[in-house]
Structure 1
Amino acid sequence: MTYCVGLKLNRGLVFMSDTRTNAGVDNVSRFRKLFTWQVPGERALALMTAGNLATTQSVVSILEERTKAPSERRPSILEIPTMFQIARYVGETLRDVIHSNSATGQKADSAFNSTIILGGQVKGMEPRLFMIYPEGNFIEASEDTPFFQIGETKYGRPILVRAYNKAMSFEDAAKLLLVSFDSTVKANLSVGLPLDLQVIDRDALRLGMSKRIEGEDPYYQTISNGWGEALKKAFDSLPGFSF
């Protein structure tokens, strides 16, 4: 399993993913799930994956190959003119990879399923954020749904729902995501550090700050310990229940 979150803010987009994959409690590995592309001054893109590892690696490899090999260059996510068309192309690629590995035909076999968060900005257009489903269709973030989660979503969702603010800074967004991920890591062994963080600033048209956060990272430890203590204090401050 995995956990990935994409946030849409007034300032741009923020992405965070874990790196743990497992096929049982005694078979745990690290694989990157956050991938980026850019043409500085023209576009910046980020993509996160959850689901079958072979499926997600195949999709990313196809996208990457078509940005580099001249004979396979078209279509390329570095040339497709809009984020909507890029999302549609990524969805089609995901659907085709699942279909090629599934004996069930057009319906996605759950054994090969994968879900993708895609976001970025193309010159002259607004930053956009999408969640792409195994069948190839997708939805876009909006005022009512300003962030997407994929993977093991339930443990980290409450803090996002309560504390998200579209006007928040990138620094506060990173802090919010770390709390969300820490809650998930503590509740589910299938999600684990290190975490990958990527920022795309509105209208910068290049990748912004990125960071890999290891378990021993001092700030992560401060967030993890501080959030636990803050929850205890908040609980103790609530009025007592009476029968």
Structure 2
Amino acid sequence: MTYCCALRLKDGLVFISDTRTNAGVDHISVFRKLYTFGIEGERFITIQTSGNLATTQAVIGYLQNQIELKREPNLLSVDSMFEVAELVGHTLQKVISDVTENTHEQSNFYCSLLLGGQIGGAEMQLYNIYPQGNFICATSDTPYFQIGESKYGKPILDRALTYDMPLSEALRCSLISFDSTLRSNVSVGMPLDALIYTKNSLHIPDGKRITDEDPYFMRISKQWSDTLRNGLQELPNPSEDYFK
């Protein structure tokens, strides 16, 4: 399984993905699920993947091949993030259709994608692309998307994340979301890949791979657990009516 989270905030974009894939309890592997494309100073594009591994690798491979062979359109030639989303959605739909024409079997090859970035002086965008190739766009009211095993990490984002939150705080909030997921679902696993993009920089960041021995992640994980336990103790006790 997978957990990927992407945020579109006032000051930039935050992307975090786990790296675990599994086909049963005895076949667990590590694969990257966060990919970057772009031209320094001109455009920055990131894609996160969840779902059938063969499908996601085919989609990324096709997009990379279009760039290398300079075939039009490609991620580095289209003029807007909306066109990027259309291109990626069409590619995903094509890959799934090429595998099987049986619509009842296509769900076996489904995957979902998160796409974010900025081109030139246009606004940053973040899209959630569905297996059918259609997509929705993040807004200031809904500034984040999740794909994969999202239910354990969603509560902290719903309670704490805001569009105006600084990127450092948003990263911290997202990492706690992952910590909650890692503790509750063994199909999501370390290491994590994190990428922070600052608005209008048009810089392609290197990103960071976070292992289970990362000092900062270990620190906030422990402190968050302690905070929850202490907070629970500080809540008022239920009245006797609950025990009648």
| Shorter-chain TM-score tier | over 0.9
| Equivalence for 1:25 | 25
Following superposition, which runs of at least 4 residues in structure 1 exceed 2 angstroms of deviation?
A: none
Where 1:167 maps in the other structure, the secondary structure is coil
| Equivalence for 2:99 | 101
Structure 1 letter corresponding to 2:28: V
Q: TM-score, normalised to structure 2's length?
A: 0.95
Show CA shifts across 1:116-136 (max 9, x none): 000000002000000000000
**Alignment size in residue pairs:** 240
| Equivalence for 1:194 | 191
Where 1:74 maps in the other structure, the secondary structure is coil
Runs of 5+ unmatched residues, structure 1: none
Q: TM-score, normalised to structure 1's length?
A: 0.96
Show CA shifts across 1:104-146 (max 9, x none): 24x7722100000000000020000000000000000012211
Pick from 145, 149, 158 the counterpart of residue 148 of structure 1: 145
Pick from 154, 172, 175 the counterpart of residue 172 of structure 2: 175
Show CA shifts across 1:199-227 (max 9, x none): 12111112236110000111111111111
Give the 3 Å change call, closer, same or farther, for CA 148–108 of structure 1 in structure 2: farther
CA distance in 1, matches of 2:44, 2:152: 30
Runs of 5+ unmatched residues, structure 2: none
Counterpart contact for 1:201–1:207, Cα < 8 Å: no
CA distance in 1, matches of 2:157, 2:163: 11
Counterpart contact for 1:199–1:207, Cα < 8 Å: no
Where 2:76 maps in the other structure, the secondary structure is coil
Give 1:15 shift.
0.3
CA distance in 2, matches of 1:197, 1:209: 9
Give 1:53 shift.
0.1
Identity %: 47
CA distance in 2, matches of 1:198, 1:162: 22
